[in-house]
Amino acid sequence: MSADLTDLLPPGFPAMSIRDAHLLMAGAPDSPLAIEETVIRGITFKTWKNAPKTLGEIFALGEAWASHDYIVLDEDRVTFAAHRKAALKMAAQLIADGVKPGDRVAIIARNLPEWSAVFWGAVLAGAIVTPLNAWWTGPELEYGITDSGSKIVIADGERWARIEPHIANCPAVEKVYVCRAPGPIGHPKVTPLESVLGRPNDWKNLPDGALPAVTLDPDGDVAIFYTSGTTGKPKGAIITHRNIISNIVNALSAQARSFLRRGEIPPQPDPTLPRKATLLSVPFFHATGCFAVMIPAMAGGTKLVLQRKWDADQALGLIEREKINSAGGVPTIAWQIVEHPRFDEFDLSSLEIVSYGGAPSAPELVRRLKERFPAMQPGQGWGMTETSATATSNFGEDYIRKPASCGVPAMTGEAKIMSPDGQELPIGEVGELWYKGPIVVRGYWGKPEATADTFIDGWVKTGDLARIDDEGFVYIVDRAKDMLIRGGENIYCVEVENAIYDHPAVMDAAVVGRPHKVLGEEPIAIVHLKPDHEATEGEIRAHVASKLAAFKVPVQVIFMPDNLPRNANGKIMKKELKAQFTEAA
């Protein structure tokens, strides 16, 4: 426990153990957090007995908030009622286009009201929604479209310009809808999305639509989200309705557990209270932005205030104007809020929660948050695309007690630490973290071998090295996979190294993560050039930038006069390089 934070804990905390809190929450069979065992694809899981069954039921919950704002972006302000009309219109259009249950519909756009309307419309049509990373380059987007076999693509104008030269290489694509294009598009497959939905501020004038006559299956596929993997190529994690909804209930149970641990009774939902507001700059195409924020907002009547991209100056103004209650996503955001030089110029009193995950965070961040917001409940969590967002959570006083921990699993989840030879390790020992629960996806799209390697009897092998303490709190120690996370974005080192090796002057290259206070990590490259060849740092970085998304480009290139150190098996000893160059930096 951090000595300088002990005085922030209420007397007698914790009032009960994690186990006792979980037992109390499960309560009677009609409890909202009651647990039952369910067999899914031949494997028994602990599941939420009384949770909604499909995203269709979640969508229906939004009717309760009809007159309230759902999405705000700049001058666009869309109510739940207006958004419902747009989503139903989109569902009807996709069905008219021939989309059948199981067809893939790709979304390639930044955070926009249209993104959400298309997502919900595709879900209601029975499609498998396939969001692609809006930061990807044209070739990367082509890979995602072709790998998923997407039939329909919905893109914003900026992303259309990026994929237009590649769309001929995507034979499964039958139609492309483009929104917010700078001008007319003369492509035979392109239809302006505005010709179907109009502009977001006009959605309120759309006719009332009917729900499609499509049956949704709780354990049916509803989305494909791409994640980095062991081959260096992204893999499409197949998400089910139950995966996403279990994640939502997991989050609700973590908040209830926090009250019980303080010795308080969790408050009951009160629809008469003012609606909550969340500032969202995390992309919808990430599991966190979609599963942990956008979809729960539909269920709970939360207003989502979007930013084109994270901008701390703009964020403080939005928190004040829109009475934002929660913000976060990655530690980057929390750091820039609490350390902003104009912090005291804004009324930020509405802010109740700053939570984050997706990147390593410094334990002292909790101290800064409590200094700035004494009544705030900070929190962090751990998860991955393969766990449909958050798998463990550490919230409130527990986070103050153990700021280096990413928390404990929900009642439906299990975590264990495994040795390289497949043996479960005892408390306190470091090994690979395995996780099981109804949030674990069923596998990777079209990749049976990778699925078999990663998913075993309902457990996902996370690739993270971790330990678990005697209370069940998980501590991430390192990543077994050769991957780093920069501000929440996965960077697979082999992919960047391959781009560097394509430079004609490069003989040897390694990419490692250097700690960064705000971003968590940033990539640096260590390079050895071929004899009689020359290249500058700027040339190497520009070469990588021509092949990969900007966030993957090394922030520094270090040239070594000799070959990089290798072990007896011929593998570059990255641990030594990382220690040498990150410590020097």
Assess whether pLDDT exceeds 80 at residue 343: yes
Q: Are strands 520-529 and 556-559 parallel, antiparallel or unpaired?
A: parallel
For 469-513, how does the pLDDT look when each residue is reduced to its tens digit (9 = 90+)?
999 999 988 767 778 888 888 887 878 887 898 898 887 889 999
Identify which of 518, 264, 247 has the alpha carbon closest to the alpha carbon of residue 396.
Answer: 264
Q: What average pLDDT score do residues 552-581 get?
A: 82
Residues 497, 547 share a domain: yes
Residues 500, 365 share a domain: no
Q: What average pLDDT score do residues 163-178 get?
A: 98
Residues 428, 529 share a domain: no
pLDDT at 207: 96
Residues 26, 71 share a domain: no
pLDDT at 360: 52
Q: Which two tokens stand for residue 182?
A: 């700078």
Q: What percent of the chain has pLDDT over 90?
A: 69
Residues near 489 by beta carbon (within 8 Å), at least 6 away in sequence: 135, 551
Round to whole Å and give the CA distance between 127 and 102. Answer: 5
Round to whole Å and give the CA distance between 320 and 344. Answer: 12
| Domain harbouring 532, CATH code | 3.30.300.30
227, part of any domain: no
Round to whole Å and give the CA distance between 312 and 306. Answer: 13
Residues 282, 302 share a domain: yes
Q: How confident is the model at residue 373 (pLDDT cuts 50, 70, 90)?
A: confident
* DSSP characters over 412-477: T-EEEEE-TTSPBPPTT--EEEEEESTTS---BTT-HHHHHHHEETTEEEEEEEEEE-TT--EEEE
For 89-105, how does the pLDDT look when each residue is reduced to its tens digit (9 = 90+)?
999 999 999 999 999 99
Collapsing DSSP to helix, strand or coil, 102 comes out as: coil
Handedness of CA 401, 406, 408, 410 (dihedral sign): positive
pLDDT at 232: 64
Round to whole Å and give the CA distance between 547 and 560. Answer: 23
Please give the C-alpha separations between residue 258 and each of 24, 365, 397, in angstroms, as whole numbers. 12, 20, 8
100, part of any domain: yes
Assess whether pLDDT exceeds 50 at residue 230: no
Residues near 156 by beta carbon (within 8 Å), at least 6 away in sequence: 108, 109, 110, 112, 114, 134, 178, 179, 180, 181
229, part of any domain: no
Residues 387, 464 share a domain: yes
Residues 320, 365 share a domain: yes
Name which residue leads in pLDDT, 226 or 368.
226
Rounded to the nearest angstrom, the gap between the alpha carbon of residue 320 and the centroid of all alpha carbons in its chain is 26
Identify which of 283, 333, 329 has the alpha carbon closest to the alpha carbon of residue 313.
Answer: 333
Residues 457, 355 share a domain: yes
The count of C-alpha atoms lying within 13 angstroms of the C-alpha of 166, restricted to the half-sphere facing its C-beta, is 17
For 116-148, how does the pLDDT look when each residue is reduced to its tens digit (9 = 90+)?
999 999 999 999 999 999 999 999 999 999 999
Q: Are strands 152-156 and 489-492 parallel, antiparallel or unpaired?
A: unpaired
Domain count of the fold of the chain: 3
Assess whether pLDDT exceeds 70 at residue 364: no
The count of C-alpha atoms lying within 13 angstroms of the C-alpha of 329, restricted to the half-sphere facing its C-beta, is 29
231, part of any domain: no
CB 391 within 8 A of CB 437: yes
Q: What percent of the chain has pLDDT over 70?
A: 95
For 266-314, how does the pLDDT look when each residue is reduced to its tens digit (9 = 90+)?
988 888 888 999 999 889 999 989 999 999 999 999 999 999 888 889 9
pLDDT at 568: 45
How many residues comprise the chain? Answer: 585
pLDDT at 569: 46
- Average pLDDT over the chain reads 91
Q: What average pLDDT score do residues 408-418 get?
A: 97
Name which residue leads in pLDDT, 500 or 229.
500
Residue that finishes a domain, picked among 216, 249, 267: 216
pLDDT at 474: 96
Residues 507, 465 share a domain: no
Lowest mean pLDDT of 74-78, 354-358, 405-409, 435-439, name the range: 354-358
| Domain harbouring 333, CATH code | 3.40.50.12780
Name which residue leads in pLDDT, 263 or 339.
263
The CA-to-CA distance between both ends of the chain, in Å, stands at 29
Q: Give the global pTM.
A: 0.87
Residues 405, 326 share a domain: yes
| Domain harbouring 112, CATH code | 3.40.50.980
225, part of any domain: no
Residue that finishes a domain, picked among 216, 249, 277: 216
- DSSP symbol at 162: H
Residues 555, 426 share a domain: no
Assess whether pLDDT exceeds 50 at residue 108: yes
Collapsing DSSP to helix, strand or coil, 148 comes out as: helix
Q: What average pLDDT score do residues 29-55 get?
A: 96
Q: How confident is the model at residue 572 (pLDDT cuts 50, 70, 90)?
A: confident
Residue that finishes a domain, picked among 459, 479, 499: 479
For 536-563, how does the pLDDT look when each residue is reduced to its tens digit (9 = 90+)?
999 999 999 998 999 999 999 999 998 8
Domain that holds residue 506: 488-584
Residues 68, 18 share a domain: no
Identify which of 130, 131, 100 has the alpha carbon closest to the alpha carbon of residue 214.
Answer: 100
222, part of any domain: no
Residues near 272 by beta carbon (within 8 Å), at least 6 away in sequence: none
How large is the C-alpha radius of gyration of the chain? Answer: 24
Lowest mean pLDDT of 50-54, 124-128, 168-172, 462-466, name the range: 462-466
